[in-house]
Structures are given as structure tokens and as C-alpha cells.
A and B are shown apart, each in its own frame.
Chain A
Amino acid sequence: MTSLARPGAGRRPSSAIGVGRTRVPLRGFYLTILILLYLPIGILLIFSFNPSQRLAFPLQGFTLDWYQAVFADGSLLRAARSSLMVAAAAATAATALGTLVAIATLRFRFRGRSILLGLAVLPLIVPFAVIGAAMFLMLVSLDVPKSLLTVMLGHSVIALPFTTLIMLSRLAGMDPALEDAAMDLGASYPTALRKVVLPLMGTALLSAWLTAFVVSFDEVALANFLIGGDPTFPTLLYGRLRFGGQLPVLISMAVLLTFATIALSLVAVRLARRRE
């Protein structure tokens, strides 16, 4: 995912620790797990270049037909675009709301402060099947048709704990005196937030937005309860995986989207680092 944390940053190995450490081959363990993590996906990737419909060995040759087929399949492209819009909107909403929660709960003492904070992180401990069923019943009760919009609203709620926690940890490391200084110089409090606090939180905002984007972009369990006739890519994929369909094309599409996500995250993280 898109954590901007830098492990080991600023840590100097102390000689006392360096000398007497355990002889457990941790690097070997790490590499083994890494291989096990990449192997299945790598093999799946191979089958997106295999001419056969069936995902079975032996391989039949090499082809790019499935990747061409992706761009000829209107429903796949539409679903991918829907996912993109839903994830972007949900991430924007969750980041904005998470930032408000972080500022309100860290910079103010007020009644209901812990309730607000608790509510914002509570979706983290409710299984998606429960949130999904509950939101579904709400839509039914209000006679609201299920659609991409309702999926977006659902995703904004499940992404909120992540954005709130990221913004909280950033804001906690920032001196409130900065806002006071801006206000002493004549800024209103909202102006101080907008002109002083928000620019300093740029990296955290990006990190929060990307995390929320990935949470939504990939989500299927909650979306299944809230989706209308227009599928997102994960709900389309889930449907076709269940009831059979052209698997290699789907894999090709998923591979393309995965690489796009990874590239986007890496570029964004790099940009953020440069600004720091």
C-alpha cells in the first residue's frame, strides 16, 4: 500500500546491539516470504500471455491477444473507469473528512470529542458484510436505487478510519504555535488552517488520499451489497470469476490496473519525498 513511513530512518546501529545479536537468518526468512508472495502472482501473469482459454499447464505459446482483447471489451473498460471515479471521489471525501476530524479532535477540547474520534475509526472493527447489509437496508428503506454513487458513499465510510489515523499522526507532530502565530499576524482561524497548516500536511494528505483510493479501488465485499446495474471492476471480476467467463482477458485487465496503481503510488511517494 502507500505508507510513506521510512523504516530505520535516523536509526544508528548501536555497537552494543550490533555485537551480540541472535543468529536467526532473518534475511533468508524475508526473502523466502517474498518469493512465496510473488510466485503465485507471477505464474498468473504468465497465463495472461498464454493463448489457451484454460488456465492449465502446459503453456501453449505466447500471445498478446488477451491484452488487445481488453481494449476491445467495452464493458471491461467501462467498469475500470467506474472504479476509478468511485475510488477518486471516495478518497477525496474520506481525506477531507478525516482531516476535519483530526484538526477538531487534536486542536480543541469539546464535549463529544472522543465520540467523534471513536465514530471515525469504528468502521475499522465492523466486518464489511455487516456494514454492507446495514447500508443496503438503509437504501431499501429510503427507496434509494443502488448505484455507483452508493458504492462511493460506502467506500468513503470504510476509508475514513485510515485517513483519520494518518492525518492524526501528522498533525500530532505539528506545533499548534504555528496557527497561533498566523492568527497573531491577523489571520482568521480558517485562514491559518488553509494557509499554514494544510500546506505543511501535504505529504500526509497525499498519503491519506492514496491509501483511501487503494482501499476503494480494490474493494468488492462491501460494493457487492451496494452496486446497481453498473459494475465496478472488482464486482464485475467477482461476478465473472463465480459464473465462469473468459479468464485470461480478466487477468490481463487486472494486471494492467495493478501496474497502473503501483506506478501511481510510486510516483506520488517520490514526488512527496522530493517536496519534504
Chain B
Amino acid sequence: MLGRRGTLPFLVGPPLLWLAALFVAPLFLIVLFSLRPESGMVAPGRPWDPSLVQYIQVLKTPSFLRLLGTSTLIALGVAAMATLLAYPLAYFLAFRARARATLYLTLLLVPFAASYLLRIMSWKLMLGPAGVINSLLSSAGLISEPLDLIFTRPAVVVTLVYVWIPFAALPILAAMQRIQPSQLEAAADLGAGPWARLWRVTVPLSLPGALAAFFMVFIPTVGEYVTPTLIGGTGGIMYGNLISDFFGRGGNWPFGAALAMLMLLLTVVLVVAAARAVNLRRLIS
């Protein structure tokens, strides 16, 4: 009969093997590929000498570095806007909605259940030359030629903020639900008005949730290539488009691997810095 200790290998084994084979090994491999000197769709088995030539090549291409910077800024901006807009929503659900809170939360999350591509498509329809905004403006006689709204960077930003707002509200709401009413009462008893309670009790205690929301938006956004392709057009591509292109038809795998490594490095640095600022363990427990 299996005791507690005897069961442990059966609990740890499957997830560890699964992650080792499907997550750790691939990341290890992409590091190796990024150190290969040749270019193109290289034969995996051929012997090679490690070299930093791919990274040097990336760093010597200003347009790629600019795109990395632009994509990071877009992702930071989208994450900040989605978090700031989601914060009052979460506050409303946590403190004001009372008995209807479940209904209000469900209503907020239903659009999120709609297909991601469908939601992106819907903004193409809003912003297109014969789309909703242009049709409204021209029928009101305000414009004679359709405005160029779609296939621009702002169009990508608006669409992504729209996509992420409901999702960003979830971790903030979870953090606010852990705030004890007694903490707010104590502050009120000590003479804190509503704004003082917000700034000195609610905001500090919900900050880990807001940070989690920020990164849960930032990380998918910084690597985006689907939305930029559909909404941004050729002028609105992001760094993720480069990675996906170099792994597409007629790709260049070692170079694409180096591009991917640089982006991973950037996200890890940002996440570690933020995790130091706020104790991440509090988010998990």
C-alpha cells in the first residue's frame, strides 16, 4: 500500500517530464539554434561551432532594434491603459455592485468569451474605409473622403486595449476581494475620508493585483503578430511579426531564434524587476 512519501514520485513525475520535454527542452534548443553561425532553414543534425554572429547581425540592424523598442512601448502603453481602465471596473464590482456583482462580472466577461479573432475583426469593421466610423462621419457630412483609420499603429493600440480590458479586471478584482472590510473601517474610524481610504488602503493593498493585470496584458502584447497583421497592415507590424516571418516559408531559423531570445530576455528582465518591486508570492497565495 502506498504511503504519502511513496506517492510523491507519481505526483511530481508526470508534470515534470511533460514540462521538461515540451517547455524546457524547446527553450534549450532555441538557445542552441540562436548560436549557430549559418543561416536559412538549417539541417538540425549538421555539426556547427557556436558563435554570436546572429545576435551581432540583429544588433547591427537598426530597423529591427527600433521595432523592438516600438513594440515594447506599444505593449507598455496597452498594458497601462487596459489596467487603468480595468481598475475602476474592478473597484465597482468589488465594492459597489453588491448583490448584482456576479451578473455584472458575467456581463463583462461574455465579450471575452467571443473569439479573439472575431473581436479583432470587429475593429476592422469599425475602422475600415467603409466601416462604421467613416460611414457615420460621411453621412453626417463631416468628411467627404474616408479617413485612414485602419492599418495604423493607433488602430492596433485601440484594438488591443479593447481586447484586454475584461481580462485585466480579473486579477485586480481578486486582490480587492481579499481586502478586509475591517481594514477600511479602521481607516474610517481614524478619520480617513473616502479618498484617503482609497489612496492609503485600497490602492496599496490591490497593487499586486494591478501589477499582475499589467503583466498579463504586457506579455501577450509584446509578442503579438496576429493583431498587427490584421489591423496594422505593413506599416503597423510589431517585433512578433519578424519572429513569425523568420520561421515561416523560406525562413532563417538561427536568426529568428536570436530575435526570439532578445525578446524573451527583455520580458524576463521586466518581470523580474517588477517582481522585486512587489512580492510575487503574495499574488500566488
Contact = CB atoms under 8 A, between A and B. Distances in A.
B121 A251 contact: yes
A133 interface: yes
A14 B271 contact: no
20 contacts: A5-B105, A7-B102, A16-B184, A33-B89, A41-B118, A55-B130, A112-B12, A119-B23, A125-B268, A127-B222, A128-B220, A129-B240, A132-B247, A140-B253, A189-B7, A221-B225, A237-B115, A254-B117, A255-B118, A258-B118
B108 A37 contact: yes
Contacts of A153: 22
Contacts of B30: 130, 133-134, 137
A41 B112 contact: no
Nearest to A115: B16
Contacts of B119: 40-41
A104 B98 CA distance: 37
Contacts of A251: 118, 121
A100 B115 CA distance: 30
Nearest to B230: A241
A107 B96 CA distance: 37
Interface in B221-241: 222-226, 229-230, 240
Interface residues of B, number: 111
A128 B256 CA distance: 14
Given A1-B167, A129-B260, A134-B260, A97 B29 contact: no
Interface string B25-59: 11101100100000000001000000000000000
A22 B198 contact: yes
Contacts, number: 304
A38 B109 CA distance: 11
Contacts of A207: none
Nearest to B96: A26
A5 B284 contact: no
A108 B244 CA distance: 41
Given A6-B101, A57-B132, A41 B114 contact: yes
B138 to A, nearest CB: 10
* Chain B contact residues, majority secondary structure: helix
B89 A29 contact: yes
Query: Which residue, of B29, B256, B285, has the highest number of chain A Cβ atoms within 10 A?
Result: B29
The list of the 6 closest CB pairs from A to B, nearest first, reads A127-B223, A56-B130, A40-B122, A134-B26, A8-B101, A7-B101
Contacts of B197: 17
B15 A136 contact: no
A54 B131 CA distance: 10
A1 B177 contact: no
Contacts of B7: 189-190, 193
Nearest to B261: A130
Nearest to B123: A40
B77 to A, nearest CB: 17
Given A44-B125, A130-B30, A120 B11 contact: no
B23 A157 contact: yes
Interface string A30-67: 10011011101101100100000011111000000000
B62 interface: no
B121 A30 contact: no
Contacts of B4: 107-108, 183, 189
Interface string B4-17: 10111011101110
Contacts of B140: none
Given A120-B19, A129-B244, A133-B247, A138 B29 contact: yes
B23 A103 contact: no
B165 interface: yes
Contacts of B173: 5, 7
B81 interface: no
Given A17-B185, A43-B122, A189-B7, A37 B162 contact: yes
A36 B86 CA distance: 13
Given A134-B29, A134-B30, A137-B30, A110 B2 contact: no
A132 B113 CA distance: 23
Given A221-B223, A251-B121, A34 B107 contact: yes
Given A1-B109, A55-B125, A165-B284, A234 B116 contact: yes
B12 A7 contact: no
A134 B92 contact: no
Most chain A CB within a 10 A radius of its CB, from B19, B85, B108: B19
